[in-house]
Structure 1
Amino acid sequence: MDRKKKKTIILLAMILLLVVANGAASAWNDKSEKKKEKEAEASKIYLTDASDITAYSYSDGSQNMSFAKVDDTWEYDEDNEIPMNQDTVQSTADAIRQMEAVRELKNPDQLSDYGLDKPSYTIQFQDNDGVTTEILIGNGAGENYYATVGDSGKVYTISSGFQDYLQFDLTNLVQYDTVPSIGSGNLKSVTITENGTDTVYEEDDQVGELAGGFGALSLTDCANYHASAEELAEYGLDESQRITAKAVYTDSSDKEQTFTVYLGKTDDAGENRYVMVEGSDMVYRISETVAQNMISIEETGK
């Protein structure tokens, strides 16, 4: 074997050894990382550890919120017609069903010493076996809070961040109607129907003006979660009174879509207008300026 060929074989062998060594090191690191994760998980302390829950409620002594899962959909017990933001309500359910403790107190004193006889929050949940569990959250403990489960007598501390899951403002839990992304680049035409008369805007300059209104539309200020026919008339949103704004636009896949909004009366101050989305029972308030920008252009004043 000549010298050059021998050097090549040695070099290839060294490269192979390096590849094997790197592979082994990578496998060892992965195994070590998984071991650390397993050990970290094993060291965690949980007040609750249910596989799933079907209902839960929480109270701060003056306010109460309760939810139940019906056919895999979370509903608000006080009014099951109000659509809930499923991700938000589920995230609270997950935090309750597996509540992690910062630590467990050894040989705790009386529950009253931790404010657990008159808790700041009381939580109840029902698991998928129908078992109901109660959690009490008491006084603050530095950056944490004291907590106990049922009549276990055990006292834990939990992160103060858990309070973020206990939302008492319904507006933070509702699933509002979505507004598609509409701008001058993808808005093709707008048809305004008022008193039985259609006005179609499809010239570039006209569409450009109206795109500003649709682009600024935000449906977050809800006036009524499910308006009755009588209430719609009061808002000016019944069929005989409302103005219809139908936008034709292209979505991110360049497919043509339509988005239709009904506009009713202004509120008592005249600063906001009642609106609703076609196919929805929810009534919103939007700025009168935004409303006018959706239905009128400067050239015609229409």
Structure 2
Amino acid sequence: MKQSRIIALLAAAAVLLTGGYLAVRYRNTEKEKKQEQQEAPVSLLSFDGNATTALTVKNEEGTFRFLFQDQTWVLDGNDFTANPYAISAICSYMCDLSSVKTIARDVTDLSPYGLTDPVVLTADTSSGDSYQLLVGNPTPTKESYYAMLPGTSTVYTIDYTSGSVFRATKNTLKNRYLFDANSTEVQEFTLERDGVLVYSLTHDAAMQWTITQPIQWQGYTSNINDMLDTFVRATATAYVDENPGDLSRYGLDQPSYRIYARTDTKAVTVLLGRMVSDAEDEISIYGMIEERGQVFYMTKAALNFLDDDLLSVAYPYVYNPDATSVKQLVVDCNEVQATLELDADSKTYVCNGKVVSDMGDEVMDAFQGFYRSVATMGLSQVEPDAKPEGEAVISFTYTLQNGEVTRIELIPASDTTYWIMKNGTYTQFMTRKRILNMTGGIISSYEALQNKIKDAEK
């Protein structure tokens, strides 16, 4: 074969091979291009979420329309109280939504994606525009959700978090907080247990809590604030009955607990009935917000104050004025007979005529310890119906710098307790006799002071 013929054949073969290579490369390029198009994020919705004035959620449980009014979300209707946080989350994720992947175009059968009966979200804005999104099922791998825009035939996936927010249930759309308020806004709080009032509290203009029922007493602010923080954070686990006909099914006809709370703008009454089951390890209790009329259940431990008594919210000391305001304290307590004189301005302190402020730090520490043992005499129990009889056997008389006199007296109630009187009136509290003899109590702290004074005088 001539050389020229061989060269021609080789050239033809090269052309054929090159053409085949180019054809394969073209097909691969088109496939890659199509894959890139599928994987490229597509902006599905983009609008100003802060301008949203209404949001409609249509799911298998119904159609719910929410309106943004007075800086919060409310349900258009009286079926339930809206969860403003869930509605805000839907708007936040919806207003700037892109796809994760384009799954299929020109889709005629939407059933594999759960889009034949999707969740339909409609956001209306103040500009008059309306935006819609259809949300289907999660993908088999639970990495994302199927979604599409109405009037189109293209199915996308969106991130799993967004899809979970969009497919909110009716329970999620309901406000599950027992009282959606800040604890600092609460002005009144009442707890009843088994039909009996435990306490009723009010917050005055001086930012102080006062027990108004069943006794009049200063509230213990730190404990009350902790309790209110717990209360406003408590939520229903789930709603179980929107129109309860027979409250006895839940123990709500005669509730175990009744809580009333009020701010300047709203109030709530929470009823708690029986435990969800009779199991010993049951943790959930049925409840109902009286103003909403819907039964829910919640974790009882979320309200850890339910079984506390009045002492948990009462100022724990019989009388404890600021020491800088006290001019004199006279103690008449069995073998302890002491008159303390205090002058915070000149830092002069006297015990039974002896100027202890000149005797050194150890004596002053003992003086302060004795004063505290009297001023922090604690309460042990509440007996509002008691009628104290007999003579007082112990007394503490405070005279303040402004001349005000307060006399605390203890009358024996039993072998172990005293009734506490304040200026001749029964306080409705009692204290235990052991406070006199306990370590750091009135008797032992007075002995410690006397010993320090003797040592200083040597």
TM-score by length of 2: 0.37
* Mapping of residues 152-301 of structure 1, within 5 Å: 152-162=152-162, 163-165=164-166, 166=168, 168-169=170-171, 170-172=174-176, 176-180=180-184, 190-194=209-213, 199-201=216-218, 207=220, 211-217=222-228, 218-219=231-232, 220=234, 271-279=256-264, 280-285=266-271, 288-290=306-308, 292=310, 293-294=312-313, 298-301=380-383
What is the rounded CA distance, in whole Å, between the counterparts of 1:200 and 1:211 in structure 2? 15
Question: What is the one-letter code of the residue matched to 1:132?
Answer: S
- Whether the 8 Å CA contact 1:100–1:158 is kept in 2: the answer is yes
Number of the residue aligned with 1:235: none
| Bigger radius of gyration among the two | 2
Number of the residue aligned with 1:68: 67
- Whether the 8 Å CA contact 1:189–1:200 is kept in 2: the answer is no
Deviation at 1:128, TM superposition (A): 3.0
- Whether the 8 Å CA contact 1:84–1:174 is kept in 2: the answer is no
- Whether the 8 Å CA contact 1:213–1:291 is kept in 2: the answer is no
Say which SS state the counterpart of residue 91 (structure 1) adopts.
Answer: helix
Quickly say closer, same or farther: Cα 1:276–1:63, change in 2 above 3 A: same
Q: Deviations over 1:150-187 (max 9, x none)?
A: 102221101221213535321347871221399xxxx9
What is the rounded CA distance, in whole Å, between the counterparts of 2:161 and 2:262 in structure 1? 36
Deviation at 1:284, TM superposition (A): 3.2
Q: How many residue pairs were aligned?
A: 203
Number of the residue aligned with 1:231: none
- Whether the 8 Å CA contact 2:53–2:124 is kept in 1: the answer is yes
* Mapping of residues 20-169 of structure 1, within 5 Å: 44-51=41-48, 52-70=51-69, 72-79=71-78, 82=81, 85=84, 88-110=86-108, 111-119=110-118, 121-141=119-139, 142=141, 143-162=143-162, 163-165=164-166, 166=168, 168-169=170-171
Number of the residue aligned with 2:343: none
Say which SS state the counterpart of residue 210 (structure 2) adopts.
Answer: strand
Deviation at 1:132, TM superposition (A): 3.0
What is the rounded CA distance, in whole Å, between the counterparts of 1:44 and 1:78 in structure 2? 38
- Whether the 8 Å CA contact 1:177–1:277 is kept in 2: the answer is no
Deviation at 1:123, TM superposition (A): 1.4
Quickly say closer, same or farther: Cα 1:80–1:298, change in 2 above 3 A: farther
Question: What is the one-letter code of the residue matched to 2:256?
Answer: E
What is the rounded CA distance, in whole Å, between the counterparts of 2:175 and 2:131 in structure 1? 27
What is the rounded CA distance, in whole Å, between the counterparts of 1:188 and 1:126 in structure 2? 43
What is the rounded CA distance, in whole Å, between the counterparts of 1:138 and 1:284 in structure 2? 37
Q: Deviations over 1:180-214 (max 9, x none)?
A: 399xxxx995422237xx61227xxxx3xx74354
Quickly say closer, same or farther: Cα 1:89–1:112, change in 2 above 3 A: closer
What is the rounded CA distance, in whole Å, between the counterparts of 1:272 and 1:149 in structure 2? 49
Quickly say closer, same or farther: Cα 1:199–1:174, change in 2 above 3 A: closer
Gapped regions of structure 1 (runs ≥ 5): 1-42, 223-265
Deviation at 1:88, TM superposition (A): 4.8
Q: Deviations over 1:99-155 (max 9, x none)?
A: 221112353532334221222x22122233323333211232222111111102221
What is the rounded CA distance, in whole Å, between the counterparts of 1:295 and 1:81 in structure 2? 36
TM-score by length of 1: 0.54
Question: What is the one-letter code of the residue matched to 2:213?
Answer: E
Deviation at 1:299, TM superposition (A): 3.6
Gapped regions of structure 2 (runs ≥ 5): 1-39, 187-205, 237-250, 272-302, 316-378, 385-458
What is the rounded CA distance, in whole Å, between the counterparts of 1:214 and 1:73 in structure 2? 26
Say which SS state the counterpart of residue 47 (structure 1) adopts.
Answer: strand
Quickly say closer, same or farther: Cα 1:276–1:74, change in 2 above 3 A: same
What is the rounded CA distance, in whole Å, between the counterparts of 1:57 and 1:69 in structure 2? 12
The alignment yields a C-alpha RMSD, in angstroms, of 3.8
Question: What is the one-letter code of the residue matched to 1:281?
Answer: A
Say which SS state the counterpart of residue 288 (structure 1) adopts.
Answer: coil
Say which SS state the counterpart of residue 136 (structure 1) adopts.
Answer: strand
Quickly say closer, same or farther: Cα 1:55–1:173, change in 2 above 3 A: farther
